[in-house]
Amino acid sequence: MKEPDIKYNNRPQSFNGIEEMVEFLPATNTKKMEKMTLKRKLVILGVVVGAALVSLAAGLLVWHFAYRNVPVNKVFTGYLTVSNVEFVDAFENPSSPEFANLSSKVKEVLLNAYRNDPAIGPHVVSCNITAFSEGSVISYYLSEFKVPAYLETALDKAMSELKVKTASVRRFSLSVDTFVAYPTDPQVARTFRDNLCSFFLHSSPGVTTPFSTVGFPNYPYRANSRCQWALRADAGHMILLHFKAFKMEPCKANKGDYVTVYDSLTALEPRVMVRLCGSYPPSYNLTFVSSQNVMLVTLVTDNVGKHPGFLAEFTQIQRTTLCGGVLREASGVLTTPFYPAHYPPNRECTWDIQVPGNQFVKIRFLMFYLLEPSVPITTCPNDYVEIRNQRFCGERTPFVVSSNSSKMMVKFRSDQSYTDTGFMAEYLSYEPQNPCPDQFTCKSGRCIDLVRRCDGWNDCGDSSDEALCTCSALQFSCKTSQLCKPKFFLCDGVNDCGDGTDELDCKCPEKYLKCRNGKCIPQEQKCDRTDNCGDGTDESECGDALTTACTENTFKCDSGNCITKLNPECDTVKDCADGSDEKETSCSCGKRPYSRKTRIVGGVNADIGEWPWQVSLHTKRDGHTCGASLVSSTVLLSAAHCFQDAPGVRYSDASVWTAYLGLHDQATRTSSPDVVERKIKKIVAHRGFSDYTYDNDIAYLELDSPVTYTDFIQPICIPESSRVFPVGKSIWVTGWGALSEGGSGASVLQKAEIRIINQTECNKLLEGQLTARMICAGYVSGGIDACQGDSGGPLSSVETNGKVYLAGVVSWGEGCARRNKPGIYTKVAAMRDWIKQNTGL
Ligand code: 4AZ
């Protein structure tokens, strides 16, 4: 072993001369010593300062050469409008002499303007005129710069402030009206320009020109691609662009694949009309109108995913700026220009409304979409509707604006970027004394049905329908807010009163936790890895799964072990040791092909592809008779009562039934290419079904041959017996059943959003007819419910894992949509074992 160096051994914690001096100087105080030390000190100080200066200079040089002086590539794009040149068709062709002539002049004007600015001139690399379009002549350019990093901000500032003025070029004066410059990503600009995925299309009058992503729909669009389609129309026209199919990668925040539509021929950020991603159902009106006769569509993709892409078409329409108008009728409709297409940018419309006589006027906005990314909806600086100095923008649910006179001025404005669907509104005249004949008048002026007054639901939107109510026998009074609410809102885990009083008396004492089985346990027992509740509740939301005794509230793994975690299946976390909670076979269900919802008024018609597990069961004699749900490629679940023999028809006989899958409208059952027809091979109704109590109202049906899954045909997930659909949760019922009690069925599939209702309270409303195999859902106020013909169809629950589960099967009810008579559904979770035993699923 080596001995320690003895060199510094006697010196107390000192490792260099300077420190030593500092330490000992005060102790040795002779003049000589002072002089000596001072000299030495100065020398050393000089050395130190010198060294510091050298390293500072070196650092500065490194910084200067490595960072500050490093050249940065910058690309600016934009346009300038030349007002004293008439647009001619030849300007569209970059190889025409006319193009060459004008572009060289414009380029010279632009370069001169750059050179005259000391912050820009020295850094110009190139300047290219990329295109011309009408108006008078809009000249698009792409300019490249190379600038030392430390001068980049100065260049940006100079470019944003640059004024390109009218100038003389070769004895020709170019009158420049507008100049726009905007930085763009050099990488993107270059690849857009240089690659093979760049298309130039000119529409012909009366002709629709299609274009699509390469390979659509048979091959996915390429990863890491940059494509662009420059669209042109004849002079005096505008472009109407329509996406017929749009199926791209689901949207990711600020990245992923996206399509951008510009109201320009260059990818200019302030002229973006829309940025699109995800997938849109065919019924979504994805149509855009340009302000001039040009448009640019770009596609940027990342390195992941395989998706079909888009199919679009465009036509040209006569340019018009007509919008707004003078309205003198008692009622009428007004919409943004080209509604339901996105309104064009750069528009201003005014409607001058005056209703006859002494009537007052109100306007009801049925659809309202004026949404721009990251724009405050309080001030609405960009696109807006203005009525009596109040601005409206964003995405809004239906609302009413009333005027207490016979006149109303409605103004709409869209700026140069981002457009949306716009609005559809109706205006009406009303008697000043009676704004809502036979209806209740909300404080906001909105009219609602009288039955909705004091029903516990905020139908007005401002709660004015729930003020000053006397509670009925089926209601309770909230303690502080004095509102009346249906009794079955008590203890449903939702703060319906707003003051929490409906959830007060159902809680366990303070510092106790309520188990799903009703037991109260001390709060500290939560997540202590011991099943104190006895049903696993206290260990079910602790992030991990604990093996526990099997109860109806626990999830059973294939191994036979039970775990405590709430709803562990298909949540992408392997909770069972054998992974059986994440099996591909049971998790590839409940998927909806379209990520975007169609915008329709009222919204009771389902959208195409919205409920791809919905099946229509037909008999030859009656046509559509019952609904069903697809749960695998060959198995349907429906209600047992649909298959009970009746006089004259053997409904239990599989051969009388035909199943239609992928169906939207009964009228197109045989003509739609999306519909698949199957005969039924086998029907098995639950042996415990009682046609007296409707207990165990479930049956499974086997198709004669498997179906292939498509955008319109998908299986729904079957919930495990432990899956909880909490009271108060919003859930959807769908079907082609009667539109009113005793009425006729719907042609287009209908949907309704309802809520799960507390079992105990519902049982009171239905005089004790509920069993543990039933769940209640609907509205006590009535009005929204399943009805005859919906039976057997799904009660679909959108769960937090993004999948849709079959919470119930439409079973029975007392009439349809009656007050205090919610619909009753077969509880599918309670049938889990029966389904497994019978279908193997
Ligand atoms: C039926 O007759 C039926 N309101 C289905 C559901 C409901 C009522 C009747 C629920 O098929």
Longest dimension (CA), the chain: 131
Cβ of residue 782 lying under 6 Å from some atom of ligand 1:
no
Among 626, 779, 787, 821, the mutation site with the greatest number of ligand 1 atoms within 8 A of its Cβ is: 787
* Atom number in ligand 1 closest to CA 626: 11
Judged by average pLDDT, the poorest of 151-155, 437-441, 564-568, 825-829 is 564-568
**Segment (H or E) for 360:** strand 360-370
Confidence of residue 2 (pLDDT cuts 50, 70, 90): very low
Dihedral angle sign, alpha carbons of residues 563, 568, 573, 576: positive
CA distance 259 to 269: 13
492, 697, 785, 790: the active-site residue:
697
Confidence of residue 553 (pLDDT cuts 50, 70, 90): confident
Q: Tell me the DSSP string of 564-615.
A: -SSS-TTSSS--STT-GGG-HHHHS-S--S--S----SS--BPPTTSSTTEE
Confidence of residue 662 (pLDDT cuts 50, 70, 90): very high
Give the side-chain half-sphere CA count within 13 A for 606. Answer: 29
Cα(678) to centroid(ligand 1), Å? 25
Selected residue with higher pLDDT from 628 and 38: 628
Question: What are 140's two structure tokens?
Answer: 């698009």
Among 816, 818, 820, 826, the mutation site with the greatest number of ligand 1 atoms within 8 A of its Cβ is: 816
Cβ of residue 697 lying under 6 Å from some atom of ligand 1:
no
Cβ of residue 337 lying under 6 Å from some atom of ligand 1:
no
Average pLDDT, the chain: 87
For residue 682, pLDDT beyond 70: yes
Give the side-chain half-sphere CA count within 13 A for 568. Answer: 30
Confidence of residue 20 (pLDDT cuts 50, 70, 90): very low
Across the strands, what pairs with 425? 334, 365
For residue 779, pLDDT beyond 90: no
For residue 813, pLDDT beyond 50: yes
pLDDT tens column, 273-307: 999 999 999 889 999 999 999 999 999 998 888 99
* Atom number in ligand 1 closest to CA 785: 4
For residue 22, pLDDT beyond 50: no
pLDDT of amino acid 443:
87
Judged by average pLDDT, the poorest of 517-526, 580-589, 650-659 is 517-526
641, 695, 785, 797: the active-site residue:
641
* Atom number in ligand 1 closest to CA 791: 11
* Atom number in ligand 1 closest to CA 822: 4
Cα(810) to centroid(ligand 1), Å? 7
CA distance 195 to 752: 49
Among protein residues, the one with the nearest Cα to ligand 1's atom 11 is 788
For residue 71, pLDDT beyond 80: yes
Among 812, 814, 820, the mutation site with the greatest number of ligand 1 atoms within 8 A of its Cβ is: 812
Cα(622) to centroid(ligand 1), Å? 17
Catalytic-residue membership of 697: yes
pLDDT of amino acid 350:
97
Cα(585) to centroid(ligand 1), Å? 33
Cβ of residue 787 lying under 6 Å from some atom of ligand 1:
yes
For residue 23, pLDDT beyond 70: no
622-627: average pLDDT = 97
Question: What are 55's two structure tokens?
Answer: 């390293």
CA distance 743 to 385: 40
Cα(739) to centroid(ligand 1), Å? 11
* Atom number in ligand 1 closest to CA 816: 4
For residue 201, pLDDT beyond 90: yes
Exposed (0-12), middle (13-18) or buried (19+): which is 290, by Cβ within 10 Å? Answer: buried
Given a contact cutoff of 8 angstroms between Cβ atoms, the answer to whether 576 and 559 are in contact is yes
pLDDT of amino acid 60:
65
Cα(771) to centroid(ligand 1), Å? 17
The pTM of the full predicted model, rounded to 2 decimals, is 0.80
Cβ of residue 810 lying under 6 Å from some atom of ligand 1:
yes
Cβ of residue 790 lying under 6 Å from some atom of ligand 1:
yes
Cβ of residue 808 lying under 6 Å from some atom of ligand 1:
no
Question: What are 603's two structure tokens?
Answer: 């919204």
Cβ of residue 813 lying under 6 Å from some atom of ligand 1:
yes
For residue 30, pLDDT beyond 80: no
Cβ of residue 736 lying under 6 Å from some atom of ligand 1:
no
Cα(724) to centroid(ligand 1), Å? 24
Selected residue with higher pLDDT from 490 and 28: 490
pLDDT above 90 coverage of the chain, percent: 57
Confidence of residue 204 (pLDDT cuts 50, 70, 90): confident
CA distance 726 to 815: 25
Cβ of residue 816 lying under 6 Å from some atom of ligand 1:
yes
Cα(824) to centroid(ligand 1), Å? 8
Catalytic-residue membership of 291: no
* Atom number in ligand 1 closest to CA 821: 4
The SS3 assignment for 35 reads helix
Question: Which domains does the chain carry?
Answer: 71-192 (3.30.70.960), 198-318 (2.60.120.290), 324-448 (2.60.120.290), 614-839 (2.40.10.10)
Cβ of residue 365 lying under 6 Å from some atom of ligand 1:
no
Judged by average pLDDT, the poorest of 122-136, 382-396, 509-523 is 509-523
- Helix extents (H) in 219-345: none
Cα(791) to centroid(ligand 1), Å? 6
Among 790, 809, 821, the mutation site with the greatest number of ligand 1 atoms within 8 A of its Cβ is: 790
Confidence of residue 194 (pLDDT cuts 50, 70, 90): low
Judged by average pLDDT, the poorest of 11-15, 238-242, 458-462, 717-721 is 11-15
Confidence of residue 4 (pLDDT cuts 50, 70, 90): very low
Question: What are 109's two structure tokens?
Answer: 């004007």
pLDDT tens column, 310-336: 999 999 999 988 899 999 999 999 999
For residue 246, pLDDT beyond 90: yes
Phi-psi region of 653 (alpha: psi -120 to 50; beta: other; left: phi over 0): beta
Cβ of residue 791 lying under 6 Å from some atom of ligand 1:
yes
Among 780, 810, 814, the mutation site with the greatest number of ligand 1 atoms within 8 A of its Cβ is: 810
Cα(814) to centroid(ligand 1), Å? 7
The SS3 assignment for 57 reads helix
264, 417, 629, 791: the active-site residue:
791
Catalytic-residue membership of 202: no
Residues near 670 by Cβ (< 8 Å), separated by ≥ 6? none
Cβ of residue 590 lying under 6 Å from some atom of ligand 1:
no
Cα(604) to centroid(ligand 1), Å? 18
Cα(595) to centroid(ligand 1), Å? 31
Cβ of residue 569 lying under 6 Å from some atom of ligand 1:
no
Given a contact cutoff of 8 angstroms between Cβ atoms, the answer to whether 77 and 94 are in contact is no
Say how far residue 434 (Cα) sits from the centre of its chain: 40
Instruction: Return the DSSP state at 157.
Output: H
656-678: average pLDDT = 97
For residue 66, pLDDT beyond 70: no
Judged by average pLDDT, the poorest of 181-185, 530-534, 723-727, 791-795 is 530-534
pLDDT tens column, 408-417: 999 999 999 9
Instruction: Return the DSSP state at 3.
Output: P
Q: Tell me the DSSP string of 439-465.
A: SEEPTTS-EE-GGGTTSSS--SSSSGG
Question: What are 606's two structure tokens?
Answer: 């389902």
Residue type, 241: L
